[in-house]
A and B are shown apart, each in its own frame.
Chain A
Amino acid sequence: MTSSSERNRLFWDRQSDEYQERHREFIGRPEPRWGMWQVPEAELQVLGDVAGKDVLELGCGAAQWGVLLAQQGARMVGLDNSARQLEHARERLAAADVDFPLVHAAAEEMPFPDASFDVVFCDHGALSFADPLVVVPEVARVLRPAGLLAFSHTTPFAWMCWDEESDHVVDRLVLDAFGLHRYEELDGSVGFNLPYGEWVRLFRGNGFAIEELIEIRPAEGAESTYQPPEDTAWARRWPMEEIWKVRKWS
């Protein structure tokens, strides 16, 4: 394991119970929703029809997404780097009476054969906590031709406006764009991001066509168990969360 995947495993094992308790109702609703403001998939139309498709979630947490997609007919596989998160996932699968493989591994070392999935996705998952320079080529490997990679994450824009001192996004550039890659949080976790152009080159260099970049603008007064109202107000002006949608060709 890399040092970052080890640190993030410890971080998620440590905070899993508290995380699931804090967000239980907000992210546990009966239809798939994306991100910090839980915008419905029905509105964003990112994944499309998943029935009959092999779908991998990279960083599935308690498998809130996976259970709902399995109920829509997807052949789900959930991967997570944290054993404690996967214990929450097992409870959730049992409660919903669905069953699919839950794999304990870091996304940098995903134990799947080539060309085994139609959709790989995550919602603030492994593309935020594992090095995209390693993960995106791995996703290209496990996807079938015409397969979809879709993921939400915090925007490079918000990273650049992150003020560690106040623990908030600010209306001021703080962190350099050039060199953006790895960030060690005060909480012990390690986050990853890239400048916009490097994301584009990473996708293209691994045979992905870029279909869409959906920048989420929360509705006025949108609720979130992740962001305080002042940061949601920031996200009404500048993009804090985005969803990349890219498709494997070649």
Chain B
Amino acid sequence: MGATLADGGDLEGAEVELSEHAQRNKAEWERAAVEYEEAGRRAWAGERPPNWGIWSIPESEVQALPEVDGKDLVELGCGTAYWSAWLARMGARPVGVDITDAQLANARRFMAEYGPEFPLIQASAEDVPLPDASFDIAFSEYGASIWCDPDLWLAEASRLLRPGGWLVFLCNGVLAVLADDPPNERQLVRDYFGMRRFEWPGEEGVDFHLGYGEWIRTLHAHGFELEDLIELQAPAEGPETRFEWINRAWAHRWPSEEIWKARKR
């Protein structure tokens, strides 16, 4: 995989062989991109401030980001690149990486319409055609953080970061992954030990979720020191999301989403 790139060959037309789950996730996101188009447009249009996850908790409250002003930042699995747009407006120099044509087409359209401009690259975050040690921050919100194999994308994030660089990513809370959907949302129906690769009935995609100890081990194995784990709490009041796997009352009591922060040694 990626031998052409590793050899330093011409990136144009390089035949990169995708992993089986990457192919499936690309197909899933080519189909699902339309569902995320409007939220992306509103973010690019400045109608939504920088915010995290499905409960739209503002970054001004969460304060998960390190200093981004003037930093080189790569977003791994950027989708419509709404986070990169926010980060660019905060002074970062982002590069958005996504595997999906449809998502990137939306990103380019919003970029042309609203700005600012920054590079968008079509690639899997498991094999990124960008040079070593070229970024200060690697970022993912529901991108590589759940759709890529943790060992593969963390190896790439580590390679892309300069020493001391930050890794910030949001993924589903462990309990939310293991618990049943509403109305049985308090029932644990999946095992913690052995958790890693998940396939869900009726969905083409494959996602990845690790337990706490396994995240810490995997981060270490790829040269990261853990800095923070921010468990997001949904506010008690407000509308439900459009996602059937979660409800607000649960997410007010248990973390439905977690932000991991680590630094490259």
Residues on A facing B (Cβ under 8 Å):
157, 160-161, 171-174, 176-178, 195-197, 200-201, 204, 209-215, 217, 236-239, 242
Assess the B253–A215 pair: CB atoms within 8 A: no
Contact with A along B227-240 (1 / 0, CB 8 A): 11111010000000
Which of chain B's residues 195-250 have a Cβ closer than 8 Å to chain A? 211-213, 216-217, 220, 225-231, 233
Bound-complex Cα distance A174 to B216 (A)? 26
- Distance in Å from the Cβ of A166 to the closest Cβ of chain B? 15
B89 adjacent to chain A (CB < 8 Å): no
Residues of A within 8 A of B101 (CB): none
Bound-complex Cα distance A231 to B199 (A)? 28
B11 adjacent to chain A (CB < 8 Å): no
Assess the A212–B213 pair: CB atoms within 8 A: yes
Bound-complex Cα distance A238 to B193 (A)? 6
* A237: contacting residue among B191, B212, B227, CB under 8 A: B191
Interface majority SS (helix, strand, loop, mixed), chain A = mixed
Assess the B193–A217 pair: CB atoms within 8 A: yes
CB-CB nearest 7 A-B residue pairs: A197-B229, A213-B213, A197-B231, A176-B253, A173-B186, A200-B229, A215-B213
- The A/B interface has a contact count, at CB < 8 Å, of 83
Residues of B within 8 A of A160 (CB): 175, 254
B187 adjacent to chain A (CB < 8 Å): yes
Residues of B within 8 A of A210 (CB): 216, 225-226
Assess the A177–B255 pair: CB atoms within 8 A: yes
Bound-complex Cα distance A209 to B252 (A)? 30
Q: What are 18 pairs between A and B in contact, CB < 8 Å?
A: A157-B175, A161-B188, A172-B187, A173-B179, A178-B254, A197-B230, A197-B258, A201-B229, A204-B228, A210-B216, A210-B225, A211-B220, A212-B213, A212-B216, A215-B193, A237-B188, A237-B192, A238-B193
Residues of B within 8 A of A161 (CB): 188
* B231: contacting residue among A196, A215, A217, CB under 8 A: A196
Assess the A157–B192 pair: CB atoms within 8 A: yes
Assess the A204–B253 pair: CB atoms within 8 A: no
Beyond A196-B212, A212-B220, A237-B191, 20 additional pairs, beta carbon < 8 A = A161-B188, A173-B179, A177-B253, A177-B255, A178-B231, A178-B252, A178-B253, A178-B254, A196-B231, A200-B226, A201-B229, A204-B226, A204-B228, A210-B225, A212-B213, A215-B212, A238-B178, A238-B191, A238-B192, A239-B192
